[in-house]
Structure 1
Amino acid sequence: MSLVKTALSLVMGLAFTALPVLAHARCSGDDLRPALLPEERAEVDARVAAMPYPTGNHWIARRGTETIHLVGTIHLSDPRLDAPVERIAPLLDDAATLLLEMSGTDREAMEASIASDPAMFMLSDGSLPDLLSEDEWQQLSGAMAARGMPAFVGARMQPWYVSMLLSVPACMKDLLEQDDGLDVRLEALAEEKGVPTRSLEPWDTGLALFAAVPMEAQLSMIRSALAPADVNEDLFETIISTYFEEAHAESQVVLEVLSPRLTPLGKAEADTVFDTVNGAMINARNRAWIPVILDTLDSTDGTVIAAFGAAHLSGEEGVLNLLAEEGFELERAPF
């Protein structure tokens, strides 16, 4: 079942994941923001300043009598989530519906489907050694071995899936077996309070979108993930630090700015990867979620809470700005 749990955690946690204290003890990553070069810092600041709603993990959207609480989540466990959960929990007392990227029922359906048909993660033709250079394949084999995956198994896997596996540093691979992220905690509270939950999208949406990414872009995703182990740990720690500072826009921009310097990708190739993934996995899903949110408001009498990965909040095509374009007024709330 570990493959199922890994796939579930990775597909749901594309934007933000987090570490418990034990993982911090095993890993030694550093937040990369203090090490930004002056020109990199200037680029990050300028891009973030131009983005709508770049900060805040909890927002309230109001339009007439309609109210939505929007909560940016992480999908893996971290004890620092205890305080946000305590603050958000009372909102469920009066909520009509909790919207999630994937409800528990749909998670179970996903696990069952993957367990019965792991072929969705496999290449239909050829293998990764055929698609990568010999040096890249040797690096990839070593990286997979460090995560407990034999090279002969990884050789037949879809490049996008392998890149997701490699995006999590080997020192924290055990995290993928945990199931205690913010979304899971909120769903458990909703169940206790009798609040119905609903998925924002069909459970196989993320898998289908990744599978549709052009093969060359998928191979670039692998090359990007072949950064040295210490770099991967630093990149991961940067994501975590920005999440708990509620600086979700800065997190994404920092990764994009640093990628050409810290990973094997040149700027043009890195830009292609980020543009492809952001367009498919963030922007397209955001636009698809808006009708679901509005339909839920129309079909219920009370407040709606929508909890999803924090990377979906900011930007021109972020959920917050898309709701503002629908006539909602946005107010940042305590997280």
Structure 2
Amino acid sequence: MRLLAPLLLCLGLAGAASAQCAGKDLRQDLSEQERTELRAIVSATPYPVGNHWRAVRGDQVIDLIGTVHLDDPRLDAPAGRIRSLIENASVVLLEMSAAEQAEMTAELSSDPEILLLSDTTLPELMDEDSWQTLAAAARAHGIPAVMAAKFQPWYLSMLLSIPPCATAGLEQAQGLDGRIMDMAQAVGVRMESLEDHNTVLDLFRDAPLDEQIVMMEATLTAPDTNEDLFATLLAGYFDEAVTESWEVSRLLSRRLSPLDPAESDAMFAQMQSDLLDSRNRAWMPVILDAANDSPIVVAVGAAHLQGKVGLLNLLAAEGFTLTREPF
């Protein structure tokens, strides 16, 4: 999608500190028609708000923390407020534990071909104008065109979704997930992954190249627009407006994508199905099993909490009582 920013709400992708960017919150620029549509969707969505919820069933207690995989100094305060939950948990479940992250890093280091095209290059797959636009965007992100030409389209899409202003210190950046892992590690609380690190990568890698190209071309925005999308994502997160943030990304994608609105909505719906709904269902048995040794903490991208197939609604269907907690 042109708006790969919402992936940062639901994937283990890190971003640099937002203080380096000066984007504006695009929610204020929505038309009245868009606002009406947004209000209707939010009001019809189960559990549309809140970054911290508690699920209780008998003696089973689960604290669910909606994270953002972006670094921001405003995360220090909520991290401090949930510290005692982390320190007293029997286990902390994450999309990807520190051990799983290390395994992925080692795999990518030993086999960089995972991220590279083997039999072709992007200029061969794209028309000249599209390639030149892409090459210019890559250079703005500090990626030489000759290097960008060899990247897998899905991977380059992710790199270009982060604005140039946020790429400095990217490897050292730490979102709420990282803070939670540090707290758990400091006191020896066990951490486990909800899924194998290849789960999401396989979703992208298995997509046909032509679909990846469409997604990549849809990622390209002007640097200022990319900063605005970044700022909008974070503003929605700190407002704990989880469904609103997700749906605003969909509405803005209609404006910015080269696809027509129906195609853009369809692509966004597919992304939600693949990256949120299917993974949420797959995580539920892991969460329910871990809950037998309560209390536990589940820390996942905030977008996983909300919606009909969100973790909160799935837990409610299993007989848990949900209560929104301070974040």
> What TM-score does the superposition give when structure 1 sets the normalisation length?
0.91
Aligned partner of 1:88 among 79, 82, 91:
82
The amino acid of 2:184's aligned partner reads A
Residue 98 of structure 2 is aligned to residue 101 of structure 1: no
Other-structure match for 1:135: 129
- C-alpha spacing 1:34/1:248, structure 2 compared with 1 (3 Å): same
- C-alpha spacing 1:311/1:175, structure 2 compared with 1 (3 Å): farther
Partner-residue secondary structure (3-state), 1:305 = strand
Partner-residue secondary structure (3-state), 2:264 = helix
The residue correspondences of 1:22-171 to structure 2 (distance < 5 A) are 22-23=19-20, 27-171=21-165
Moved more, 263-272 or 235-244: 263-272
Distance in 1 separating the partners of 2:216 and 2:178: 29
Partner-residue secondary structure (3-state), 1:95 = coil
Q: CA deviation at 1:209?
A: 1.3
Distance in 2 separating the partners of 1:92 and 1:261: 41
Moved more, 121-130 or 44-53: 121-130
- C-alpha spacing 1:40/1:286, structure 2 compared with 1 (3 Å): same
Counterpart contact for 1:121–1:157, Cα < 8 Å: yes
Aligned partner of 1:291 among 285, 291, 304:
285
Aligned partner of 2:316 among 306, 324, 327:
324
Distance in 2 separating the partners of 1:321 and 1:174: 38
The residue correspondences of 1:1-20 to structure 2 (distance < 5 A) are 14=11, 20=17
Counterpart contact for 1:231–1:262, Cα < 8 Å: no
Q: CA deviation at 1:55?
A: 0.5
Q: For residues 26-46 of structure 1, what are the alpha-carbon distances to aligned partners after superposition, in whole Å with 9 as ceiling and x for unaligned?
A: x32110011101111111111
Partner-residue secondary structure (3-state), 2:70 = coil
The amino acid of 1:223's aligned partner reads E
Q: For residues 218-258 of structure 1, what are the alpha-carbon distances to aligned partners after superposition, in whole Å with 9 as ceiling and x for unaligned?
A: 22211221122221111111101000000111111011112
Partner-residue secondary structure (3-state), 2:25 = coil
Distance in 1 separating the partners of 2:187 and 2:146: 47
Other-structure match for 1:202: 196
Partner-residue secondary structure (3-state), 1:307 = strand
Distance in 2 separating the partners of 1:16 and 1:310: 13
Other-structure match for 2:166: 172
Other-structure match for 2:3: none
Residue 186 of structure 2 is aligned to residue 189 of structure 1: no
* Structure 2 alignment gaps of length 5 or more: 1-6
Distance in 2 separating the partners of 1:293 and 1:213: 28
Distance in 2 separating the partners of 1:201 and 1:275: 22
The amino acid of 2:317's aligned partner reads E
Partner-residue secondary structure (3-state), 1:157 = coil
- C-alpha spacing 1:55/1:111, structure 2 compared with 1 (3 Å): same
Q: For residues 280-328 of structure 1, what are the alpha-carbon distances to aligned partners after superposition, in whole Å with 9 as ceiling and x for unaligned?
A: 1111111111111111123x2x301000111111111111111111111
Distance in 1 separating the partners of 2:42 and 2:210: 29
- C-alpha spacing 1:123/1:21, structure 2 compared with 1 (3 Å): closer
The amino acid of 1:332's aligned partner reads R
Distance in 1 separating the partners of 2:208 and 2:273: 13
Counterpart contact for 2:18–2:71, Cα < 8 Å: no
Counterpart contact for 2:27–2:232, Cα < 8 Å: yes
Counterpart contact for 1:163–1:221, Cα < 8 Å: yes
Q: Percent identity?
A: 48
Partner-residue secondary structure (3-state), 1:86 = helix
The amino acid of 1:44's aligned partner reads L
Residue 253 of structure 2 is aligned to residue 256 of structure 1: no
Distance in 1 separating the partners of 2:102 and 2:210: 32
Counterpart contact for 1:16–1:73, Cα < 8 Å: no
